């Protein structure tokens, strides 16, 4: 007999008021995810969910990104249900500024309502990512959203696919709940995930190879070289264009994911957002025994400069994330691969190019 999400949260919260607030927020998020999953499953029967919205078409575009119809509708669903949660504010990818809710709320929530929206039209993995943080005494909710990832009380993502799953951490392990559509409720199906070691898979968008800096190229070159290269083993490459899909696979099968910064305009600090993408994913990965960094620094130790700040992201098994750091630090022979590039690296999250530490 599987535990329901509701019973799991009831046991975890006990009589602690702050935990009870987190549990109520998660229940409301789960209700929203059920609605998004149902909408996404209808595909074109629900309209042109993959249609692009831009400025003047009813969409907000923080950082200049375009939005899909389902991006907007997913945010509306989450906001409608999360208004009943004890939240002071929500910081959403789809809204330029934090959305104020209840002044007395003791929590704030950071949200990517729909990750991987480019996959909508082709029925590939999409999801929603969230992070729950405490409010701060004598500080506005917008400031609470900018705490380092180490302050997170809970984090997770919903993945909409052949099955709809919730991957959740409350700071003591990473759990997986599966949506039972017969009951319209999430039930616990994998307890205390342990990210496998020794998996020879990497995920990166190799079409950007020419834009990468030397440490990134060197790491991937050594993977591609396989048995004949310095790693002495053949690797497989995966790329789903959905970070939640990649994270779920890596949590279950191991490996490494890389989305570095690169030389293209707008990509120098990476492309993923620190507050509502990298931080919650890093929390989940670490709680499953893995690691997450920007290539140099642990993700959860970054102090965000803004709600929509971008950051390079590397996550997966600890040994592989550590090896990437060794390339960035110049501890492995990067210059042999691309001597004209020296030791510059774009895993740095500080704007201008700088040598790896």
Q: Where are the domains of the chain?
A: 5-190, 201-355
- Work out the number of other CB atoms within 10 angstroms of the CB of residue 1: 4
Yes or no: say if 168 and 22 are a contact pair by the CB < 8 Å rule.
Answer: no
Closest CA to 108 of 130, 133, 140: 133
| Whole-number Å distance between alpha carbons of 314 and 316 | 7
Mean pLDDT of the chain: 90
Contact yes or no for 285/251 (Cβ under 8 A): yes
Tens digits of residue pLDDT in 104-113 = 999 999 999 9
Q: ∠ CA 169-157-59 to the nearest 5 degrees?
A: 140
- Measured CA to CA, the distance from residue 135 to residue 141 in angstroms comes to 6
pLDDT value of residue 351: 38
Strand, helix or coil for residue 84: coil
Smallest CA-to-CA distance from 48 within 120, 123, 114 is with 120
Report how far apart, in Å, the C-alpha atoms of 298 and of each of 282, 294, 321 are.
9, 7, 10
Kindly state the tokens that stand for 164: 């709809």
Instruction: Give residue 116's region: left, alpha or beta (phi > 0; psi -120 to 50).
Output: left
Cα 129 to the center of its chain, rounded Å: 6
pLDDT category at 332 given cuts 50, 70, 90 is confident
> Do 5-190 and 201-355 have matching folds?
no
Q: Which residue has the higher pLDDT, 71 or 254?
A: 254
Count of H helices and E strands in the chain? 8, 19
Report yes or no: 67 and 53 within 8 Å, Cβ to Cβ.
Answer: yes
pLDDT at 245 over 50: yes
Pairing relationship of beta strands 87-92 and 174-180 according to DSSP bridges: unpaired
Residues whose CB is less than 8 angstroms from the CB of residue 58 and which lie 6 or more positions away in sequence, other chains included: 72
pLDDT of residue 100: 97
Q: Is the pLDDT of residue 260 over 70?
A: yes
Contacts of 199 (CB under 8 A, 6+ apart): 253, 254, 255, 317
Please give the CATH topology (third level) of the domain spanning 201-355. Answer: D-Maltodextrin-Binding Protein; domain 2 (3.40.190)
Global pTM value: 0.91
Strand partners, 91: 110
Question: Strand 256-259 vs strand 201-203: parallel, antiparallel, or unpaired?
Answer: parallel
Task: Check pLDDT > 90 for residue 21.
Answer: yes
Q: Which residues pair with 92 in a beta bridge?
A: 111
Pick the CATH number of 5-190 from 3.30.540.10, 3.40.50.300, 1.10.3720.10, 3.40.720.10: 3.30.540.10
């Amino acid at each position: 007999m599987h535990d329901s999400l509701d019973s799991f949260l009831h046991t975890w919260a006990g009589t602690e008021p702050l935990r009870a607030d987190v549990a109520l927020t998660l229940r409301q998020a789960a209700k929203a995810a059920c609605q998004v999953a149902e909408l996404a499953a209808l595909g074109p029967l629900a309209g042109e969910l993959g249609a692009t919205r831009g400025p003047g078409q009813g969409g907000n575009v923080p950082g200049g990104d375009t939005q899909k119809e389902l991006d907007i509708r997913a945010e509306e669903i989450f906001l409608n249900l999360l208004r009943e949660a004890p939240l002071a504010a929500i910081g959403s990818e789809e809204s330029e500024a934090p959305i104020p809710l209840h002044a007395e709320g003791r929590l704030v929530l950071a949200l990517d309502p729909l990750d991987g929206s480019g996959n909508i039209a082709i029925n590939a993995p999409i999801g929603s990512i969230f992070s729950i943080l405490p409010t701060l005494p004598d500080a506005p909710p917008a400031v609470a959203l900018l705490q380092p990832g180490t302050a997170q009380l809970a984090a997770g993502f919903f993945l909409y696919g052949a099955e709809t799953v919730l991957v959740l951490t409350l700071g003591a392990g990473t759990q997986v709940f599966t949506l039972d559509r017969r009951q319209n409720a999430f039930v616990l199906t994998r307890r205390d995930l342990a990210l496998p070691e020794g998996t020879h898979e990497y995920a990166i968008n190799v079409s950007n190879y020419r834009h990468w800096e030397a440490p990134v190229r060197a790491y991937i070159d050594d993977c591609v070289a396989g048995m004949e290269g310095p790693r002495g083993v053949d690797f497989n490459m995966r790329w789903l264009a959905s970070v939640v899909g990649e994270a779920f696979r890596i949590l279950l099968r191991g490996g490494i994911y890389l989305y570095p910064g690169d030389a293209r305009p707008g990509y120098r600090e990476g492309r993923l957002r620190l507050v509502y993408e990298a931080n919650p994913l890093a929390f989940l990965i670490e709680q499953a025994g893995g690691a997450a960094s920007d290539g140099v620094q642990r993700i959860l130790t970054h102090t965000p400069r803004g709600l929509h700040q971008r950051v390079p992201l590397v996550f997966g098994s600890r040994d592989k994330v550590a090896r990437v750091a060794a390339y960035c630090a110049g501890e492995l022979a990067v210059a042999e691969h691309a001597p004209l590039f020296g030791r510059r690296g774009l895993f740095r999250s500080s704007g201008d190019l700088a040598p790896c530490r």
